[in-house]
Homo-oligomer: A and B are copies of this chain.
Amino acid sequence: VTGPGAPGDLAARVRGLIVDVPDFPRPGVLFRDIMPLFADAASLAAVVDHVVDSQRATGFDVVAGIEARGFLLAAPIAYAAGRGVIAIRKAGRLPGPTWSTPYDLEYGVGVLELQHAALRAGERVLLVDDVLATGGTLGAAVRLIEGAEATVTGIAVVVELSVFAGPKLLPVVVDSVVVL
């Protein structure tokens, strides 16, 4: 599901900071490097504040970030909104009992995990990642959260890649700061 997106000036600012890196991490892949956006204080603040504002009416109890770049956006959103942040990580990195779910990679299958202790039934979760492409990772994260009997109230990403149909495959409105 596609949301209204960010105001044009914020989207233009973000777009201007993203660096295109051809053939990374593999030949034929065009990587969108958003690290310069995080390094720019005013842009980091503007993106975080935009997401907090856009999600305020819906409301959420906690922010879930997807490892690793998703952490860089999820944690300041949680701080700015007066909420905590929980981590959705690759297999084997979270201690204790976890929920886990597979997701499709370009070659093969990955596994994402969420600690049992991270969510209580009925909690309302804002899900955050850096880039939305096919929606495979975010879809797996939604399954983990719903498997814990919590609810995904919104999804926020910095960049949505329009060549894929990611938002159409997700059951929650996606707030993409910029669409490339």
Contacts and interface: CB of A to CB of B under 8 A. Distances in A.
Nearest to A96: B21
A14 interface: no
A41 to B, nearest CB: 4
Interface in A92-109: 92-96
Nearest to A37: B84
A86 B39 CA distance: 5
- Counting chain A residues whose Cβ lies within 8 A of the other chain, the interface size class is 35 or more
Interface string A12-47: 000000010100110000010101101111011100
Contacts of A165: none
A83 interface: yes
Contacts of A118: 35, 39
Contacts of A21: 95-96
A62 B39 contact: yes
A46 B79 CA distance: 10
A96 to B, nearest CB: 6
A115 interface: yes
B33 A84 contact: no
A43 B71 CA distance: 17
A72 interface: yes
Nearest to A117: B36
A77 B31 CA distance: 27
A35 B115 contact: yes
A38 B72 contact: no
Given A38-B78, A72-B74, 19 more contacts: A19-B95, A24-B95, A31-B95, A33-B95, A35-B87, A35-B115, A36-B117, A38-B75, A38-B85, A41-B78, A41-B82, A41-B83, A43-B84, A44-B75, A44-B84, A68-B93, A71-B71, A75-B76, A76-B80
